[in-house]
A and B are shown apart, each in its own frame.
Chain A
């Protein structure tokens, strides 16, 4: 089955700096790679996703890159703000409607 590895497990940055979280996956059949932000006790919220036919996608301060050959994808957050502090999960699946295999999460702390 699919195995998703995520690094780092914790990340602390100063407000205004950039944050990068990296994930690798094992199943070449995976074509859909979403990123979720989860605040304590709440449901995961989709912040950005990318499909295997695209190498990069950007939405304001958030961007995701995908290297399908190397089986890794990354989340980039620029100009971080304290409200970006949360746990971020990467995931992989065959497509958006299929069960998700999650990474172990990255706890991001943005200090003022």
Chain B
């Protein structure tokens, strides 16, 4: 099946620093990717929809200036958490939509962020 990777798989950073997370579709092109956030023992919450070549669409309550999304190619979307704070510590998971297949979306393995 289609493969989506994320990098890094985990990251620890100091409060106030910025962290970039990459989401790649390895064997298919993805015009659309989704970014979700999952706090411990909670559900996945959609943060934003990333569209190749255009601005991302953010869900209500998600600060677009804090969570910068760039989808510069058909296989790569990046999420940058700017000026991270402890409350941003979470599990960030992307999914990519396979346009050529059954339009199914495939999840990446997730990135665990811990902000100290």
For residue B49, CB closer than 8 A to chain A, the reply is yes
The count of residues in chain B whose C-beta lies closer than 8 Å to any C-beta of chain A is 23
Interface size class of A (residues with CB under 8 A): 10 to 19
Candidates A43, A96, A100, A104; contact of B42 at CB < 8 Å: A104
**Contact of A97 with B32 at beta-carbon distance under 8 Å, contacts A89-B44, A104-B43, A105-B43 already known:** yes
Q: Which of B68-76, B81-89, B100-108 contacts A (4 or more CB under 8 A)?
A: B100-108
Of residues 48 through 80 on chain B, the ones whose CB sits less than 8 Å from some CB of chain A are 49
**Contact of A43 with B43 at beta-carbon distance under 8 Å, contacts A96-B105, A97-B104, A99-B34 already known:** no
B110, A43: Cβ atoms closer than 8 Å: yes
For residue B24, CB closer than 8 A to chain A, the reply is no
Q: Which residue of chain A has the shortest Cβ distance to B98 in the bound complex?
A: A97
Q: Is the interface of A mostly helix, strand, loop or mixed?
A: loop
Q: How far is the CB of B60 from chain A (nearest CB, A)?
A: 8
B112, A41: Cβ atoms closer than 8 Å: yes
Over the window 27-70 of chain A, the binary record of Cβ atoms lying under 8 Å from chain B Cβ atoms (1 yes, 0 no) is: 00000000000000111111000000000000000000000000
Residues of B within 8 Å of A105, CB to CB, are 42-43
**Contact of A103 with B43 at beta-carbon distance under 8 Å, contacts A96-B104, A97-B32, A97-B97 already known:** yes
Q: B residues within 8 Å of A by Cβ?
A: 32, 34, 42-46, 49, 91, 93, 95, 97-99, 102-105, 107-110, 112
Provide a sorted-by-A list of 26 A–B residue pairs whose CB atoms are within 8 angstroms. A41-B91, A41-B112, A42-B109, A42-B110, A43-B109, A43-B110, A44-B107, A89-B44, A96-B102, A96-B103, A96-B104, A96-B105, A97-B32, A97-B98, A97-B99, A97-B104, A97-B105, A99-B49, A100-B34, A100-B44, A100-B105, A102-B43, A102-B44, A104-B42, A104-B43, A105-B43
